[in-house]
Structure 1
Amino acid sequence: MKSTIAPTQYRLGAAELEVLLAMVRTGTLAAAGERLGVDASTVFRAIQRIERGLGQPLFERSRAGYRASELTKALAEQAERVEAALEAARTAAQAQPEQITGTVRISTTDTILHGLIAPALQQLQPQHPALAYELHAGNELVSLTRRDTDIAVRATKRPPQHLVGRQLGMVRAALYTAATSPLALSDVEAGHAAWIAPDDALPDHPSVRWRKKRFPKAQPTYRVNSLLTVMELVALGMGVGVLPIFLAQARSDLRPLTGSLADCETELWLLTHPESRHLRRIAAVYGHLAETVQMP
């Protein structure tokens, strides 16, 4: 498409931003249409209309899908702010005079629950004292499609396309030892350290993949089914382990042996089902988490 100067009369609206955000999040017309509740051809026509209005292409088309341009990524960031503002506005409009009641079911992992979600809910509770919470901490992805949960907070680079949500930032990790341990990274590289690592309950965890790539001969001395347990055993001086920085940095009994490990980075997503996101009890909690749980 030939690039020209955008007509001065063209103005992006909330509907156009919603289309662009759906395309950036999904990468295909069909998946974006499913999020928006329209067919793929409607999404295609909407993108064409926006591109004509702006006078430049917004996506690079390929067999793999639609790849967003830098301008489109910038517009998507603004669209996420609009989305969050609308969520907050809906919550504020519904907060009075009727009190928000009911139960909100939240699914996440133990580390995210203890390090991020619980502190955020503690702040929210005085605002909505009649709300109750069912908190599921597990490594399996509880299904929002079957309504097993209302809100999911997950570390993933591939959030399910049928859900709506927003990225809260990046989860970063480093290799840690106990604060009192004399171990240095060179000791680990020489094979003089015991490893504490997730067991088969987390076979594809980024920390497992990183260890096998960086230290292929290292065999964990302790295998556990929880990253919280990895952290506690490391703090006791029983070995080294890869831990989320957001959780470990608050502990005075832990000491990092490395900086942030690029291979262990992943995205943190706040997810819910499109049909339930505007329910008052879910919107209140979703909006609060979107505002308060922010990763660097």
Structure 2
Amino acid sequence: MQWDDARIFLAVAREGSFSSAAKRLGVRHSTVSRRIRTLEKTLAAPLVERKSTGYVLTDAGEELRHAALRVEKEILSFEGAVGGQDEDIAGELRVTAIANMASTVLMPIFARFSAAYPKIELNIQVTNNSVRLAEREADIAIRQTNSPVETLIGTRLTTVASAVYGARAYCEAVKSGQAPEKWIGVDCCDYHKNWTKKAWPSADHEFYVDETSLTLAALKAELGVGFLPCFLGDSEPELVRFHKPEKQHELGLWLLYHRDLRNTKRVTLFREHMQREIKSVTNLFEGTLPAPQ
């Protein structure tokens, strides 16, 4: 058996479909299907069975999954150990970060890292979803959370504060009684969704968004008020704080990676770079800079 065949099989086992596995691996659907069928023929045993809800593993498939996971763990552990011994600081470094942060306050920080280490190929992946670092979908994840995953190594970079913002003219009109108070319905993340529900229990929203950049645009269009992280809201001269930041709306900003990569020089250099850079803009993240009035 070839490891590449087992790797494709693991992707199917994890995703539950050939198409999702193909997308994850960056190959064609037909490639995944062909390799699985060839593997089944080689082993003389069916590995997956198609159900209405997707593909499920047969008994033989379960046995292969356990074996392939053990092999994968050893390979990834070896890669991490060898990567830490490389004297030449070069190679790819895949970092996943939150969209609204990566495209704004973090981008200049990423740019300075690339300028300092031109041989490191920095690959920024934007996603708000969980990324399986143990399976090396990315090398590093930058996440907002108060409860990082215990199986990962983490460095707490700073605190991210949030506040309720609105367009300057709209907030003045609401506070003077000339306009009704309206809240923008959000579904960008569980944090903002739950905070909005508590702040506006009636949930009578006239306008909904599912991404923070859309919340920002809706606020500027005077469609209501809503939560934004302070590093975004305080940077917009058209917006003002409708309510000040509260302790209950603070999140930790973490840099997370798998323990197998703790001695990898690319990871170490990036972690140290982020710690230095974030420290210089702590006030922006914590919302302690003078806010627009």
Structure 2 length as normaliser, TM-score?
A: 0.61
Q: Is 1:229 aligned to residue 214 of structure 2?
A: yes
Whole-Å Cα distance in 1 between the matches of residues 202 and 168 of structure 2?
Answer: 25
Deviation at 1:272, TM superposition (A): 1.0
Counterpart among 118, 138, 149 of residue 129 in structure 1: 118
Aligned residue for 1:108? 97
The structure with more helix, counted as a fraction of residues: 2
Deviations 1:137-190 (A, max 9, x none): 2221111111111111111011001111211121111111113435466479x9
Aligned residue for 1:8? none
- Residues 257/182 of structure 1: CA separation in 2 closer, same or farther (3 Å cut): closer
Whole-Å Cα distance in 2 between the matches of residues 99 and 111 of structure 1?
Answer: 33
Counterpart among 150, 153, 156 of residue 145 in structure 2: 156
Q: Is 1:168 aligned to residue 157 of structure 2?
A: yes
The alignment of Structure 1 onto Structure 2 pairs a total of residues equal to 198
Counterpart among 181, 187, 190 of residue 193 in structure 1: 181
Aligned residue for 1:179? 168
Deviation at 1:133, TM superposition (A): 2.2
- Residues 131/265 of structure 1: CA separation in 2 closer, same or farther (3 Å cut): same
Aligned AA (1:120): I
Deviation at 1:102, TM superposition (A): 1.5
Aligned AA (2:91): G
Q: Structure 1: state its 5+ residue gaps.
A: 1-93
Percent of counterpart pairs with the same letter?
26
**What secondary structure, in the 3-state scheme, does the structure 1 residue paired with 2:273 have?**
helix
Counterpart among 207, 227, 239 of residue 254 in structure 1: 239
Aligned residue for 1:210? 195
Whole-Å Cα distance in 2 between the matches of residues 214 and 175 of structure 1?
Answer: 10
Whole-Å Cα distance in 1 between the matches of residues 186 and 126 of structure 2?
Answer: 16
Whole-Å Cα distance in 2 between the matches of residues 280 and 210 of structure 1?
Answer: 39
Task: Please show how residues 42-57 of structure 1 align to structure 2 within 5 Å.
Answer: none
Deviation at 1:114, TM superposition (A): 2.4
The root-mean-square deviation of aligned C-alpha atoms, in Å, is: 2.6
Structure 1 length as normaliser, TM-score?
A: 0.60
Counterpart among 256, 270, 277 of residue 262 in structure 2: 277
Contact 2:152/2:257 (CA < 8 Å) preserved in 1?
A: yes
Whole-Å Cα distance in 1 between the matches of residues 271 and 88 of structure 2?
Answer: 17
Aligned AA (1:114): S
Whole-Å Cα distance in 1 between the matches of residues 174 and 102 of structure 2?
Answer: 30
- Residues 133/275 of structure 1: CA separation in 2 closer, same or farther (3 Å cut): same
- Residues 117/182 of structure 1: CA separation in 2 closer, same or farther (3 Å cut): closer
Contact 1:163/1:271 (CA < 8 Å) preserved in 2?
A: yes
Whole-Å Cα distance in 2 between the matches of residues 272 and 237 of structure 1?
Answer: 40
Contact 1:116/1:293 (CA < 8 Å) preserved in 2?
A: no
Aligned AA (2:184): I
Contact 2:170/2:179 (CA < 8 Å) preserved in 1?
A: no
Aligned residue for 1:58? none
Deviation at 1:281, TM superposition (A): 1.9
Aligned AA (1:194): K
- Residues 117/99 of structure 1: CA separation in 2 closer, same or farther (3 Å cut): farther
- Residues 237/101 of structure 1: CA separation in 2 closer, same or farther (3 Å cut): same
- Name which one, 1 or 2, has greater alpha-carbon Rg: 2
Q: Which moved more, 1:234-243 or 1:169-178?
A: 234-243
Aligned AA (1:263): Q
Aligned residue for 1:288? 273
Contact 1:176/1:257 (CA < 8 Å) preserved in 2?
A: yes
Q: Which moved more, 1:103-112 or 1:215-224?
A: 215-224
Q: Structure 2: state its 5+ residue gaps.
A: 1-84, 287-293
**What secondary structure, in the 3-state scheme, does the structure 1 residue paired with 2:231 have?**
helix
